Each structure stands twice: as C-alpha cells, then as structure tokens.
Structure 1
Amino acid sequence: MSIIIIESPNKIEKVKKYSNCETFATKGHFKSLTKNFIKNYDNYEIEYDFSNEETRKRMNFIFSKCKNEDVIIATDPDREGYAIGYMFYQIIKNSAKSVKRAEFFEITQAGIKKGLENAIDFQKTNFKDFESFKARAVGDKLVGFILSPKYMREMNDKNISVGRVQTPALELIVKKQLEIEEFQKLKEEEKISYKAKALLQTKDSKEFEVLSENVYSNLNEIEEFLNFIKDNSKALLQNIKEKQSQKAPPQPFRTSQLQERANIALSLAPDEIMLLAGELFEAGLITYTRTDSNTLSNEFINELEERFKNETWYEKRIYEAGKQSQAQAHEAIRITHIHPYEECENLVKQSGVKFSQSLIDLYKFIYENSILSQSKNCISLNQTYEFSIKGVIFKATQSKIIDKGFKEAKEKLFKSKELEDEENKEEKNLKNKIDLSSLKQNESFDIVSFEKVEIKKQAPSPYKESNFIALLEKEGIGRPSTYASFLPKLLQRAYIEIEKKGKNNFIKATQKGLDFMQKIRNLDEWIATSEYTRHMENVLDSISRGEVSYLDFIKPLHQKMQFIKINNEEKAPSEAQIALLNKLAKEQNVKLDEEVFLKANLAKKNIEELLKNSIKAPSPKQIALAEKLSQDKKIELPKDYKENIKICSAFIDKCFKECKKKGN
C-alpha cells in the first residue's frame, strides 16, 4: 500500500477513502528559514530548520512511516505546495522505496484517481520551481529584515514594515489619495462643464430629449450658445446609426476574479472569501482555489454540454490560460460536478464543513459562474439618432436586447435578472420614455425648449476593496496565493483604512501611510515601484524555466540594500540606544552605517565613541566658579566656557594651579 502526503489534515479522510492509501498531512510548511538564514553571503546558501520541536517530532514520525514504502507527495498544486513537497522529498529520497509527485485539483474520487494516474517520479519534476520559491522567500526576508528596522527608526514607530510586494501595493493606494487631494483643490467651476439639452415633440405630441454633441467649458460659453440657438423651432433627424454590441458571459473564476466579484456580490472580504473557498475545496465541492488560469477541463465541459446542449442559451466555450499564467495545468475555480441548483444548500450541509450562510452563498456564486461560463453572448442593438439644430448635432440613443444569451440562463436557472449596464454618463441626463425606433430619417420635429445641463468632471475615487485585487494582478504585484493578505497587513500597520459607503468598501491611505510612502520615495524609491516588482516576478518565472539562476534574483536585490548582512543572533538596539545614536550623530554631524542601528553591540560601541567626542555643557556651579576666578584673578575667560565642560574645567584647573604657585 502506498503512502500519500498532503498538506491539510481536513482532507485526510476523503483522500484515504478515495485512494485506499494511508495518508498523512504536513499541516503546511514544516520547515522555515532559520534566524540567520544566509549561511554564506558569497553564494547565498541558506538554512532551513523545523518550525518548532513539536513539528520536528510529528514530521519525524511521518518520515519513519515512509521508510521502504512507495510514497506519493500530493501537497497543494502550486509553488508553495511544490516547495513543501520538495523539502519532504529531500528528507525521504534515500529511505523510501519510491517517491512520486501527484497533484489533486479537486478532492473527489475522479480528481484523486486522475491525480494518482498522472503521478510522476519526483526526480523528474522541475527542481527549478524550488529555486524560484527559495529566491522569493529569501528576497522577502532580506527586504523585511533590512528595510523594516530602518523605517521604524525613520518614522519613530515600531508598527512599521516594508515588503517587496506589500509596499508597491500601498504606493498605488497613496498615489490615488494624492490624485483625489489634487482634484479637491480645484475651484468648483473648474469641476463642471456643460451641454445643451433640447426637448423635442413628435407630430402626435410625444416628447423626448436630445443632448448636444459639443461640450462647453464654462457658464459663459453655454449661455452664449443657448442665446445663439434659442429662436430655432425645428430639429431635423439627419442620421440614424445602428450597431450591434455583444457582452460575453463571465469567465470561469481566477483567484483574483473570485475575490473581486464575490466581494461585490456577497460583501465578503477577500481573506474571508479565500478561507471559505478553501473549506469548499477540502470538502470536494470546488476545484483548487489558488489559480491564475481560466481554463476548464474537457471532462467538465463535456459534462455541461451533455446536460445543457439543448438549451437555447447554451454555447460550448474553450478558455485558455493567459500568457502570464503560471498555472498551465491548473483549472479555474469551478464546482466539481453538475447537480440541480436547488441542491446547493443540502450539498454544503452534508459535506462535513462547518455550516454558515456565507459558505452556501459562496458555493452558489461559484456554481452560477461555472454554468454561465458555457453560455452565449448577450447581443444588443444600439441605435444613435443624430439631430441637426442650426447645424449643431444633438443626439439621443437607445439599446435593445435581441438575444439574451447568458442573461436567459440567469433568469431560467437562477431566477435572477442581470443588472442593467451602467448608463452612458452623458445619456443619463435624458429621460426618454418613447421608443425612438418609430422616428424616421429626414423627419422634422418641433423644439419645445432648451436648457443647459451640468456635466460634472468625474472626481477620482478611492479604490474599492472589490477591484483592488484585479489592479494588483494587472500591475504584476504578487500572486494568487498572496492577494488576500495585502489589505489585512496594510490595515494592521495603520497605513490604510476601509471606509464603507453603501455596499462598497473604499480603501483610503491614512496620514501615516502618506508620510511613510513619502519617506520611502525619498530614500528607497525602487521598492515602491510596480515596474521593479513586476520585473522581479518575471525573474522568478525565469528561474522556474531555467533561464536564470537563484543568484540572478538575490544579488541585485541585496545590492539595492547596500549588501547589509543580517545577524539575528545579536540583539537589536533598544529604542533608547537608537534615540541616543541619532542625537549624538546629529550633534557631531556624523553619518552612521545602517548596521549600527541593527546590532546592539555595534550600537553600544558607537555610542561610547560618540560620547568621547561629544560636547557636554558645564554645570551652573562650574560656570559661576569660572566667572568668579576670572574676576578675582583678572584672567580672561576662554571662548565657549559655558558650552564646553572640558574648556571650563581646564580654565578652573589653570586658575587653581596658579594660586598654588603663588602660595595663595
């Protein structure tokens, strides 16, 4: 009997049941970088150790069970999972009978059977994936251990952290905040432009509105135009344009899309969405939740086709992983099998997971997306009516759905209607209740009235929590496994705050966040740019492909931080030591190395040296004595005797020595 190694203990029973194999769980990462994780700065050799003694004992028991056995390492099917599996493999490769790598994309009988059938010798897997993981882990540690203490000092705040991907994410929020503040400085009249609106009437006295094509930048311009046109009584319909538009059904969910859309639809935070989705995956209800691919398996597509091929809304669709996808073998997040929509709630309740309404809502949401991804486009006919009034073009538009496509599926299967698309920002000012398609080209219409319409310039808005993850993905910041962690970390550091308005959560930078990023831009701008982070992510991908090495990532990154070495065995200086160092260095106009602020021993040594050279003021009694001796002995006081204790003391000593010589 083979032994299967997975990560989550919650999946043990299902994997055992479907594989008939003894199954053990690592409980995620069982080894982590040591305190002084870089053993050699020439080749950046690193050291891992068990997270704690309890983990060591638990894992040693599992390793002993693998001796002389066929072992299948089925840790999660992503880079993190592969890294855990690689470390496991390195420990048992010489004691196990054989070691294979399997990937379970769904915890179902079919999913586990497929994973086991496609398992390969671990020796044949891409070891470069571990090199990429190692580069990411070491790089993130270096940035955190070197730059975070630096900015704790700069900000005089211990609740500060700098991250290779966390900080560029904050920079996006801060830039938006600054953009908003700049807009708010505009005068009110600078925020408004104008259009002219005409009320027209058909021969049978039906009224409708049309809007000028031209935009007028201020009140004088629009008033002048209305005076120019006010005496006209007729409008000519000189052109009718028709154009079809198509709206595609939603794609199967990538991680970022699930977080974005579930946040909008269900008002759940991204980290909560991932927690709930993880429970649904472990219960065998959905596929693996960390993916940047929109693909669906042929088996699932065929199952959907068999079920819905006779429906008027159905259309078979093949989705491909994007060029930037790191998960060519992965599927999108989907339900694991087709069943009636009405059974969703019972399936979740019977799956063994801790029941909650949010869990049911999320499962239904993924269910709907999985079905709708295999449906037709919604096709609309868009009509634009162009009227000429004294040579100036006015327009009215209307849109009609001619094929509901996926919207029909929503109505039939889920008893819900697609929300109407947001109206054109300009046409929302028109209130037309008549069907414009009855109007004929070259027909004339009576003009009832004119009026001006304010067109407010769109004020920049803070990022919504729902669309921020999509922005991170677009900017190349982070990976599906990390998207949900950014906002909680920024909130924890008090760099941002979440402001709730209606159903939306808006992300706003705090003053601390603004001040922090200003410091970063002044001293280490490179860490704040999306371009650098995106470049580093590309280098990590290149390591996986074997095009560059681990050192090609780590050395340039460490160079950005002046190759400062980390020694965590040494205690960090106290806040009092750091404050004194800063004070003495400022008084003596001395620039200290960054390492001085990281190591207590170095800090102490530098304080002692600076104190030797520091200028201490004499006490009031010493000053008074020096002045009395000067007056009594008619000796001129030296310069700076009030500021420098050495000068004052030397003067007093000199006076007493002269007194002794004279016998006074």
Structure 2
Amino acid sequence: MNNTVIIIESPNKVEKIAKYSGAKVYATVGHFKALANNFLNDYENYEPIYEYIENKKFSINKIIDDCKNKDIIIATDPDREGFAIGYMFYDLVKNLAKSVKRAEFHEITEAGIQKGLQNAIPFKSANLNEFEAFKARSVGDKLVGFILSPKYINKLGDKNISVGRVQTPALNIIVKREKEIEEFNNNNTNKKLSYKIKVKLSKDNQEFYAINDNIYENKEEIEAKINSLREIKQALVYKVDEKDTQIKPKEPFRTSQYQEEANKKFGFSSEVAMNLAQKLFEKGLITYHRTDSNSLSKEFIDEIQTKFGTQEWYEKREYQAGKQSQAQAHEAIRISHIHNYTDIDDKIAKEEKLSDDEIKAYKLIYTNSLLSQAKNAINKIYNYDIDIDALSFKAKATKEIYKGFKGVFDSFTDEEETNEEDKDEKTTLILNKDEKLNIIDYEISEVKKQAPKRYKESNFISILEKNGIGRPSTFATFLPRLLKRDFIKIETKGKNQEIVATPKGIRAIESMMDNQDEWITTSEFTAHMENILDEISKGKLGYLDFIKPLHEKMEFKHISTMDNQTKIPPSQKSLEYAQNLAQSTGLELPKEAYEDYKICTAFIDKAKKLKPPTQKQIELAQKIAQSNNIELPKNYQTSMEICSKFIDKHIKKNNK
C-alpha cells in the first residue's frame, strides 16, 4: 500500500485507518465544495455550479498534488452525502491518478477496514446515480431556500425566517398539534368533569385500588351512590382472567431508534446523540451510525453466539433491514466487537479516553446489540373483577414469570410507558376467585377529557420517519434548525422534553397557507420527493424528475428575476468570512451586507484584493516559481487574490 492514498471525511479516523491499511490517509473534513450563490447555469437542464469552500481550497489542492500517479481509494462515508464528497474528489483526480476506487468502511476496526478494501471497486463502476440524487437534493433545497425564504422574510418582517423542503413540513406537524391543543382548551364542553367510584381494598394488610367503570355526571349523584355502599365491609373476587404475555427485546437500533432511546434514558438531544455516535464510530467502537436498517451481519450474529451461546438467556435472532430501509447492505448501529460488559469501564473507557456521555451512549448501544440476541421476557397478567353490591370494580396485577432479556444486565431497566389513567388499578397482589377482600374506603375519581399531547423530543423522530420526512443523515438537524429560527421551543415537563410551537412558528405556517404555498408544509409532498430521490439513486428516475416538479410548484420563478425588493441574505459562512476580512483589512463591512448576499459577495471580492496572503501561500508561490523557472507576479506578497490566482493557475497547469 506504499503507493496508495485513501480519502476519507473525518480527520479523527486518519490515524486508525492508516494503521490498519498501511496507506497514506487524507481527510476532506466533510464537504469541500458547495453550490455557488448563482448556482444554476440555465433553467432548462438545471446544471448546477459547485465551487470550493474558500477555507478548504488550499488543503484539497495539496491532497490532489499527492494523488498524482498513485492508486486512490475514496472511502468517504457510506451514505449519499459521503458519496457526493467522494464523487467530487474523484472528478478532480480521475485524470491524474493511476487508479481510483470506491470503498466503504462500515466500522473502523482492522477487520472492517480490510473488508472495505477487499470489496473496493473502480469508482466509475460505483453507483454514480447516488451523486445525481445528491445533486437533486442540494439544488432542490437551494431553490426552495432562495425563492421562498426571502418571500416570507419580507411578508413577516423578520430576517430570521427560513423555508425548507424538509424543515417546514416538520414544523407544520408541530404547529398542527399546538392548534389541536388550543382548540381543545377553547371548547368548554371538554372542561366538563364526570366522575367514577374508586375503592381502596386490602388483603393481608396490603392495600390497592379498584375502579368502577360507571360514569356519574355530577358529584351529588356519585356521593349518594357511595353513601349507599358504606355499610358493606367486604368485596368478593368473582372473576379472575389470566394470560401470559411475551415481551420482546428491542430490535437493533436504526438511527431514529438510537436517537429516541438516548433522549429517553439520558435526555440527549438528537444532535448530541449523533455527535456522540460519530465519536464512537471514529474510535472504532460501533458501526456506521446513519442507517435506516435493523439488520445485523451474519458474522456479528455468529460472534455473539460463539461468546454467549451457552448462556441461559441467549437466543439467536435475525433481523431484516426493514420496509423503511433504502440500503439493504447497511447494518443497524451495533458494537463493532464482542466483549464483556465489565470491559467497558475496566478497559475500553480508559483506552479510548471516553467521556462520561460517550460511555453512556456506548453502553446503550452495547446492551441493545447483545439483548437483540436474547430470549423474550414473560409476564402473567391477572385481570380481576371484584363485586360490591352488584357493582363491578376492576383491578389488574402483573407477575414476572421469566426475566429473559431483562435479566441479562443487573443495571438494565426497560422503562415502559405508564398510562396515567390506569396506574391506580395495578397491584402486585395475586387474588383468587371467590376470595373476600376488606373495604377500607371509597374515593371519587375525576374523569376529564384529555387534551392532545405535545410531541416529546424522544418520539418526534419516529413521527418524522412515519411521515416519510427526512433520512437518517438529516434527522438530527431538524429541531436545531427550528430552534435557531425561534419557530419552536423545548419545555421540560418532568422527565420529558416537549416540543412547543411558538407564535412565530404558527404565524409562519399560517402565512404559507394564506399565500398558496401550502404544498411546502405538507409531509405528503416531502415524502413523495424523498421517494423520487431514492428512485434516482436506483437509476429508475433522473435528476430532472426531481427538480422540475419542485420548481413548477414555485411557478418556475427564476432567482435572477425575483422582485428587486426581495433581498437574499448571505449564508452564515459567507457572513463570517466577510467579517473576518473586515477585521484583517480594516475595511468597514456595510450594514446592508448582513441582509443582501450580493452586497456581502461584492465586499468579499473587494476585501480579498487587500488581504495579504498567509506565509504558507507565499512560500508555496515561491516554490512553484522556482520549480517552474517562472517569475512571480507583482504584489504577490501583499495581495491574497494575486497570490491565490498564481498558485491556482500553475497547480491546474501541472495537473493537466
């Protein structure tokens, strides 16, 4: 592998991949090209213009320089975004390198790296349709943002507004729920109370409740009924129904399920959960964490069987990718190698220098991976009918028959959702038919209609998934974007974090409905477009099958012919770059640059001419001049623009 260069995304994986492969490894540090501000060549073929992200151009060109006449293996992440990064790099080196292949590393272990390298294929033979799907997604999202966002910035008089093909339907789901709650609360009939009789019983000095299902419309009526029962001191168990129920362990995590469990158990937001998984993946501890598959590889299932097959709790289980999966070859999120649970604290956490939160996330994935290969737990459910003066009161009990997967780890608890309405009816007592119970007292139980509940942060991703909104690579981005725009807020209620639509979020959705842009708020349209992207990846549809219907929804409006009063704000990165230039050159950044990308871009162009090059750029220019025996341009030491143009010109010339 001495003449081999491997290209990946994350610099945190460079050392391990180099160690396991023996090749030189470079990281692109994510995307290094993005759509230009004027990103379309025409409105017939919609061919996009991608340009270098300014602060990555120099480093990428250095990598390219080291790829000449070498065997290149592009192993960017195994998803659509990763393939796009890889394709853009392939396009730059395909005529310079000796060969270019595509590999996928699903786990950063020695076995995982070797498997990826062995299965590498010529890049031109890879599924190039993935880039067409990425192109459709990126251009489509930019079109929506550039045409609709300025429209609603102006209509709502708020600069902190954005409209997105995916984020807006997600917001609409939250807004709909908020309106349902408001409508419920404004309906006076929903505030009317009714009542049930609850009785406190005892057996062997253990107390529990049973409840009668009859509804009483006023307190006088129910109090009269209770008074008629007070002389009765004993109740009779006249019916006992028993049934066994099997409780399955949770299936191996796909991205959404991991995010929800991490939020439910530890309060991690989706974004935090994914950042922790990213670090664990880079350290070689788990498989790739952006996946819509629940399947496990045969090799991993066999490894668990070899290690734990003799354990009483073990049961071999196979899982399918799932009907929602677009990538049958991908696995669920799982640990990358089998070991004992105690090794996490005793060995792995110390060797990999895991933070406390990384340990929590790893233990969550570890237990899920192992318990997916464990037996069901078995409970016996008892439903009791208890007679008091011909009135039937109901109670229930649960008895654990077999722990199954619940008994594997001492620290494991499988938290189940508690139904507030029936929790008082539950008891641990086992009652027998015809048994007599002591009546202690009666209580009045208020029955009120329950308002629709706000979505919890822990279950919102499954709502998006069911509605076909987004994919594993994007789930973690929705709520942060909506929070950033002040469209929603998160409120803590007990152990839960509830998602609340703000007045601004409600106003934004209402405005889109009023201005005939309802289509952008619907999950049906977004799900349809997501399916088209998947069909493009499969080669069944093309790029224009996505772009044209989307642009048609916006009446084929051209970016360049939009209302002159509509100002498109610059991207956050462009604005930050302009601010840095202003500071380094002493120029004043116009106030209008914060609102209009054209003014911001013009300032950048002007300031770049005055910004001096870095010492590294000066040295590179001098090296190029010396090795090519050519003159350096005038002012190359004082103008970054002059120096950069000289470097780019001669690097491209050498590449040819």
- Bin the TM-score by the shorter chain: 0.7 to 0.9
Residue 282 of structure 1, CA deviation: 0.8
Deviations 1:469-528 (A, max 9, x none): 222122211111111111111111111112223432222111111211111121211111
Q: 1:317-466, aligned counterparts within 5 Å?
A: 317-345=317-345, 346-351=347-352, 355-389=354-388, 391-411=390-410, 416-418=411-413, 421-430=416-425, 432=427, 435-437=429-431, 439=432, 441-442=433-434, 450-466=442-458
Deviations 1:564-588 (A, max 9, x none): 111399987569xxxxxxxxxxxxx
Residue in 2 that maps onto 1:161: 162
Which of 477, 482, 486 aligns to 1:485? It is: 477
**Could you state the TM-score of these two structures normalised by the residue count of structure 2?**
0.80
**Could you state the TM-score of these two structures normalised by the residue count of structure 1?**
0.80
CA distance in 2, matches of 1:289, 1:465: 19
CA distance in 2, matches of 1:599, 1:271: 28
Instruction: State whether residues 144 and 162 of structure 1, in contact with CA within 8 Å, keep that contact through their aligned partners in structure 2.
Output: yes
Residue 215 of structure 1, CA deviation: 3.8
CA distance in 1, matches of 2:359, 2:202: 53
Residue in 1 that maps onto 2:250: 250
Residue in 2 that maps onto 1:143: 144
Instruction: Give the 3 Å change call, closer, same or farther, for CA 392–301 of structure 1 in structure 2.
Output: same
Deviations 1:612-656 (A, max 9, x none): xxxxxxxxxxxxxxxxxxxxxxxxxxxxxxxxxxxxxxxxxxxxx
Residue in 1 that maps onto 2:532: 539
Residue 359 of structure 1, CA deviation: 1.8
Residue 93 of structure 1, CA deviation: 2.4
Instruction: Give the 3 Å change call, closer, same or farther, for CA 541–574 of structure 1 in structure 2.
Output: closer
CA distance in 2, matches of 1:401, 1:205: 22
Letter in 2 for 1:31: K
SS in structure 2 at match of 1:436: coil
Instruction: Give the 3 Å change call, closer, same or farther, for CA 118–420 of structure 1 in structure 2.
Output: closer
CA distance in 2, matches of 1:217, 1:97: 84
Residue in 1 that maps onto 2:92: 91
Letter in 1 for 2:542: S
CA distance in 1, matches of 2:222, 2:190: 13
CA distance in 2, matches of 1:338, 1:191: 58
Instruction: Give the 3 Å change call, closer, same or farther, for CA 417–255 of structure 1 in structure 2.
Output: closer
Deviations 1:196-222 (A, max 9, x none): 2245577x8876543213344554664
Q: 1:178-193, aligned counterparts within 5 Å?
A: 178-187=179-188, 190=191, 192-193=193-194
Residue 563 of structure 1, CA deviation: 0.8
Instruction: Give the 3 Å change call, closer, same or farther, for CA 568–404 of structure 1 in structure 2.
Output: farther
SS in structure 2 at match of 1:162: coil
Instruction: Give the 3 Å change call, closer, same or farther, for CA 221–527 of structure 1 in structure 2.
Output: farther
Instruction: State whether residues 69 and 97 of structure 2, in contact with CA within 8 Å, keep that contact through their aligned partners in structure 1.
Output: yes
CA distance in 1, matches of 2:390, 2:328: 57
Residue 408 of structure 1, CA deviation: 0.4
SS in structure 2 at match of 1:289: coil
Letter in 2 for 1:149: P
Instruction: State whether residues 197 and 212 of structure 2, in contact with CA within 8 Å, keep that contact through their aligned partners in structure 1.
Output: yes
Instruction: State whether residues 410 and 417 of structure 1, in contact with CA within 8 Å, keep that contact through their aligned partners in structure 2.
Output: yes
CA distance in 1, matches of 2:165, 2:252: 30
Which of 524, 529, 544 aligns to 1:551? It is: 544
Letter in 2 for 1:514: I
SS in structure 2 at match of 1:41: coil
Which segment drifts farther, 92-101 or 516-525? 92-101
CA distance in 2, matches of 1:260, 1:173: 17
Residue in 2 that maps onto 1:177: 178
- State whether structure 2 residue 67 is matched by structure 1 residue 72: no
Instruction: State whether residues 246 and 378 of structure 1, in contact with CA within 8 Å, keep that contact through their aligned partners in structure 2.
Output: yes
CA distance in 2, matches of 1:48, 1:290: 25
Residue in 2 that maps onto 1:295: 295
Residue in 2 that maps onto 1:659: none
Residue in 2 that maps onto 1:510: 502
- State whether structure 2 residue 109 is matched by structure 1 residue 116: no
Instruction: Give the 3 Å change call, closer, same or farther, for CA 119–317 of structure 1 in structure 2.
Output: same
Residue 13 of structure 1, CA deviation: 1.3
Instruction: State whether residues 154 and 566 of structure 2, in contact with CA within 8 Å, keep that contact through their aligned partners in structure 1.
Output: no
Q: Flag structure 1 segments of 5+ consecutive residues without an equivalent.
A: 576-596, 602-664
SS in structure 2 at match of 1:40: coil
SS in structure 2 at match of 1:480: coil
- State whether structure 2 residue 308 is matched by structure 1 residue 308: yes
Residue 424 of structure 1, CA deviation: 4.6
Letter in 2 for 1:44: Y
Letter in 2 for 1:117: Q
- State whether structure 2 residue 466 is matched by structure 1 residue 471: no
Residue in 1 that maps onto 2:635: none
Residue in 1 that maps onto 2:20: 18
CA distance in 1, matches of 2:304, 2:598: 65
CA distance in 2, matches of 1:376, 1:191: 47
SS in structure 2 at match of 1:410: coil
Letter in 1 for 2:395: A
Residue 448 of structure 1, CA deviation: 6.0
Residue 283 of structure 1, CA deviation: 1.1
Q: Percent of counterpart pairs with the same letter?
A: 54
Residue 177 of structure 1, CA deviation: 1.5
Deviations 1:131-183 (A, max 9, x none): 11111111100110000000001101111100111111111111122222223
Instruction: Give the 3 Å change call, closer, same or farther, for CA 237–486 of structure 1 in structure 2.
Output: same
Larger radius of gyration: 1
Instruction: State whether residues 208 and 432 of structure 1, in contact with CA within 8 Å, keep that contact through their aligned partners in structure 2.
Output: yes
CA distance in 2, matches of 1:206, 1:66: 77
Residue 76 of structure 1, CA deviation: 0.3
Which segment drifts farther, 424-433 or 156-165? 424-433
Instruction: Give the 3 Å change call, closer, same or farther, for CA 304–50 of structure 1 in structure 2.
Output: same
Residue 69 of structure 1, CA deviation: 2.3
Count residues in correspondence: 569
Instruction: State whether residues 30 and 85 of structure 2, in contact with CA within 8 Å, keep that contact through their aligned partners in structure 1.
Output: yes
Letter in 2 for 1:275: N
Instruction: State whether residues 397 and 430 of structure 2, in contact with CA within 8 Å, keep that contact through their aligned partners in structure 1.
Output: yes
Instruction: State whether residues 135 and 554 of structure 1, in contact with CA within 8 Å, keep that contact through their aligned partners in structure 2.
Output: yes
Residue in 2 that maps onto 1:37: 39
Aligned-pair RMSD on alpha carbons? 2.9
Deviations 1:89-139 (A, max 9, x none): 223223322222110001110000111111122222222111111111111
Instruction: State whether residues 572 and 598 of structure 1, in contact with CA within 8 Å, keep that contact through their aligned partners in structure 2.
Output: no
Instruction: State whether residues 252 and 333 of structure 1, in contact with CA within 8 Å, keep that contact through their aligned partners in structure 2.
Output: yes
CA distance in 2, matches of 1:224, 1:559: 68
Q: Flag structure 2 segments of 5+ consecutive residues without an equivalent.
A: 569-594, 600-656
Residue in 1 that maps onto 2:577: none
Instruction: Give the 3 Å change call, closer, same or farther, for CA 243–475 of structure 1 in structure 2.
Output: same
Q: 1:252-291, aligned counterparts within 5 Å?
A: 252-291=252-291
Instruction: Give the 3 Å change call, closer, same or farther, for CA 341–199 of structure 1 in structure 2.
Output: closer
Which of 561, 578, 582 aligns to 2:554? It is: 561
Instruction: State whether residues 200 and 207 of structure 2, in contact with CA within 8 Å, keep that contact through their aligned partners in structure 1.
Output: yes
Instruction: State whether residues 396 and 427 of structure 2, in contact with CA within 8 Å, keep that contact through their aligned partners in structure 1.
Output: no
Residue 240 of structure 1, CA deviation: 1.7
CA distance in 1, matches of 2:441, 2:168: 55
Instruction: Give the 3 Å change call, closer, same or farther, for CA 135–205 of structure 1 in structure 2.
Output: closer
CA distance in 1, matches of 2:357, 2:597: 48
Residue in 2 that maps onto 1:214: 214
Residue 461 of structure 1, CA deviation: 2.8
Instruction: State whether residues 573 and 599 of structure 1, in contact with CA within 8 Å, keep that contact through their aligned partners in structure 2.
Output: no
Instruction: Give the 3 Å change call, closer, same or farther, for CA 448–360 of structure 1 in structure 2.
Output: closer
Instruction: State whether residues 293 and 325 of structure 1, in contact with CA within 8 Å, keep that contact through their aligned partners in structure 2.
Output: yes
Which segment drifts farther, 242-251 or 416-425? 416-425
Which segment drifts farther, 321-330 or 387-396? 387-396
Deviations 1:446-476 (A, max 9, x none): 7665443223433333222222222212221
Instruction: State whether residues 193 and 457 of structure 1, in contact with CA within 8 Å, keep that contact through their aligned partners in structure 2.
Output: no
